[in-house]
């Protein structure tokens, strides 16, 4: 396809650094015009590639007050992308997650406050583009308040145009003014912006050309979201959908299901003057300009030697620890149970809830104080044992911290019974949305670590025992008891 159909670029979705670099070099060597390489690296290359550094989810970054840290994250991810021969990172997500039950955005968003989301997106973008990697704001015109997944169906945004302009479009307008290089158009049904029933936003001339390009004045590169996603693919046949997307005003057609057919249909439309020379020229020049901006006019193959070590430096580890420690949030501390004085005479127990790993947390707790681990499978037996302790630390460890589903009813019961029975410090290593149905009435102290990494576990233990203070702020509301603190 590269030699016969002259593809403009490739996007990688899985693998390892050496495998991807080797393939990239091979593909670049046979392309007449250097290929633009893209990847989803919202929280670093580790989102797609093994053996690489990962960084916190956007929702975790949303809890941090100091935006210069977000700039450093963007810059480090940009550095890693550049080392991998990647020219565009499909990040940041600038969707405002105003729907806690959103099945696809969730922790990929910086939060529910448009101002905080915007500040974080600008800082991330500046860091990424400082390294010569193109940032891409997504998912236009805003995927934050959807109840379905556009990979599987076409979600509907039912707000009126005024609400969309003041909320969903707010961060897009700000990052455009700040000079972001590109934008990705989502597959959404937005009746207030597109009158044709069921027409995805990615195929809408009104949304892509009239609103994005003309009213908002965006001059950068416009990507469709992946055209194999059911939100778009269910609307037209492969090839036809690509032509419709191009005619709507998009520059780059991402993840075509049938690129040869798409190219032939666009050529045919050009030959019968359904697509003008001016329209074709406009996108071609923008794409070539973007390739020039990423130094593809001076293309060099990726150096394979030392690739793994270059992508896993001590600097990466230090930055990750710094970010996590500044995100951890204390949302409740009745009776001032925090911090616990080190080597005090209090009898302290630890109870684990959830399916995630907890070894780093346990080791860190024990390094500060005598902590007994209670592992009873019978709740009544456990409650009798906890009565012997001055304090019980309950850790909720979620194996997949991206999950936004509420803690199971059984786990809620255990947490609340223990809290009613004892003085409890409750630490959750999960998405904050997991706590949506949990009553905090009897829980004296609540910490949110957002992620279940060993670093977040160690940092949480350090906060519990007063090594340093928790300075994170809630980036989104959990329930009526715990509201967003921005």
Domain assignment present for 473: no
Q: Are residues 406 and 446 in the same domain?
A: yes
DSSP secondary structure of 352-395 = EESSS--HHHHHHHHHHS-EEEE--SSHHHHHHHHTT-SEEEEE
Phi, psi of 349 (to 5 degrees): -120, 160
Domain presence at residue 319:
no
Burial 424-454 (b: 16+ CB within 10 A, else e): bbbbbbbbbbbbbebebeebbbbbbbbbbbe
On whether both 285 and 178 belong to a single domain, the answer is yes
Containing domain of residue 403, as a range?
A: 328-464
Claim to verify: residue 333 and residue 281 sit in the same structural domain: no
- Answer yes or no: is 174 within a domain: yes
Q: Is 483 inside any structural domain? A: no
121 and 53 housed in the same domain: yes
Judgement on whether residues 240 and 338 belong to the same structural domain of the protein: no
Verify that 37 and 80 share a domain, yes or no.
yes
Displacement of CA 268 from its chain's centroid (Å) = 39
149 Cβ contact partners less than 8 Å away, ≥ 6 residues apart = 103, 104, 155
Residue 133 lies in a domain: yes
Residues making up the chain, counted from first to last: 486
422 shares a domain with 280:
no
Q: Are residues 271 and 377 in the same domain?
A: no
Residue with tokens 């009813």: 409
The closest alpha carbon to 447, from 437, 436, 455, 435, belongs to: 435
In a domain, 204, yes or no: yes
Do 344 and 261 reside in the same domain of the chain? no
Cβ atoms < 10 Å from Cβ of 110:
34
Instruction: Supply the pLDDT for residue 405.
Output: 83
Q: What is the pLDDT of residues 82-141, one digit of tens each?
A: 999 999 999 999 999 988 888 789 999 999 999 999 999 999 999 999 999 999 999 999
> How many domains does one find in the chain?
2
For residue 476, tell me if it sits in a domain: no
Residues 172 and 36 in one domain: yes
> pLDDT tens digits for 323-378?
999 999 999 999 899 999 876 889 999 999 999 999 999 999 999 999 999 999 99
Q: What is the pLDDT of residue 146?
A: 82
DSSP 8-state class, residue 203: G
And the tokens for 276?
Answer: 């003008």
Is residue 323 assigned to a domain?
Answer: no
- Dihedral class, residue 149 (left if φ above 0, else alpha if ψ from -120 to 50, else beta): beta
Tell me: do 306 and 339 sit in the same domain.
Answer: no
Single pTM value for the model: 0.95
Per-residue pLDDT tens listing for the chain (486 residues): 999 999 999 999 999 999 999 999 999 999 999 999 999 999 999 999 999 998 999 999 999 999 999 999 999 999 999 999 999 999 999 999 988 888 789 999 999 999 999 999 999 999 999 999 999 999 999 998 887 777 878 888 889 999 999 999 999 999 999 999 999 999 999 999 999 998 999 999 999 999 999 999 999 999 999 999 877 878 889 899 999 999 999 999 999 999 999 999 999 999 999 999 999 999 999 999 999 999 999 999 999 999 999 999 999 999 999 999 999 999 999 989 999 987 688 999 999 999 999 999 999 999 999 999 999 999 999 999 999 999 999 999 998 878 888 899 999 999 999 999 999 999 999 999 999 999 999 999 999 999 999 999 999 999 999 999 999 999 999 877 777 776
The CATH number covering residue 34 comes to 3.20.20.300
Same domain, yes or no: 280 and 200: yes
What's residue 353's pLDDT? Answer: 96
């Amino acid at each position: 396809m590269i030699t016969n159909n002259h593809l403009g670029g490739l996007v990688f979705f899985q693998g390892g650094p050496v495998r991807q670099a080797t393939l990239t070099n091979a593909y670049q060597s046979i392309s007449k015009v250097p290929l633009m390489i893209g990847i989803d690296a919202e929280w670093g290359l580790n989102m797609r590639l093994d053996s690489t550094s990962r960084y916190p989810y956007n929702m975790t970054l949303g809890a941090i007050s100091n935006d210069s840290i977000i700039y450093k994250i963007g810059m480090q991810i940009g550095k890693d992308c550049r080392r991998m021969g990647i020219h565009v990172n499909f990040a940041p997500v600038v969707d405002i997650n105003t729907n806690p039950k959103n099945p696809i955005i969730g922790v990929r968003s910086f939060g529910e406050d448009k101002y905080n989301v915007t500040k974080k997106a600008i800082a991330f973008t500046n860091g990424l583009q400082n390294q010569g990697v193109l940032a891409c704001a997504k998912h236009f015109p805003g995927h934050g308040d959807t109840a379905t997944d556009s990979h599987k169906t076409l979600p509907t945004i039912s707000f009126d145009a005024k609400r969309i302009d003041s909320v969903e479009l707010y961060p897009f307008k700000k990052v455009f003014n700040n000079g972001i290089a590109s934008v990705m158009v989502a597959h959404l049904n937005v009746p207030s912006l597109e009158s044709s029933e069921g027409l995805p936003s990615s195929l809408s001339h009104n949304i892509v050309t009239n609103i994005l390009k003309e009213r908002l004045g965006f001059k950068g590169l416009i990507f469709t979201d992946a055209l194999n996603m059911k939100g778009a693919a269910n609307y037209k046949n492969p090839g036809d959908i690509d032509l419709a997307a191009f005619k709507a005003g998009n520059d780059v057609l991402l993840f075509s299901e049938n690129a040869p057919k798409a190219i032939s249909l666009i050529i045919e439309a050009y030959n019968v003057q359904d697509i003008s020379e001016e329209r074709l020229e406009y996108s071609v020049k923008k794409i070539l300009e973007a390739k020039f901006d990423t130094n593809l006019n001076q293309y060099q193959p990726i150096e394979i030697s030392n690739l793994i070590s270059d992508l896993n430096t001590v600097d990466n580890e230090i930055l990750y620890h710094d970010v996590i420690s500044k995100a951890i949030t204390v949302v409740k501390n009745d009776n001032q149970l925090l911090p616990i004085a080190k080597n005090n005479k209090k009898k302290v127990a630890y109870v684990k809830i959830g399916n995630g790993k907890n070894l780093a947390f346990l080791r860190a707790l024990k390094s500060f104080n005598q902590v007994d681990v209670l592992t009873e499978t019978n709740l009544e037996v456990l409650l009798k044992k906890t009565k012997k302790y001055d304090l019980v630390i309950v850790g909720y460890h979620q194996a997949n911290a991206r999950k936004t589903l509420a803690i199971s009813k059984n786990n809620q019961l255990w947490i609340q019974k223990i809290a009613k029975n004892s003085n409890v410090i409750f630490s959750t290593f999960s998405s904050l949305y997991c706590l949506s149905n949990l009553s905090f009435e009897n829980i004296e102290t609540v910490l949110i670590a957002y992620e279940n990494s060993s670093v977040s576990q160690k940092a949480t233990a350090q906060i519990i025992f007063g090594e340093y203070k928790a300075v994170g702020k809630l980036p989104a509301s959990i329930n009526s008891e715990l509201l967003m603190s921005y």
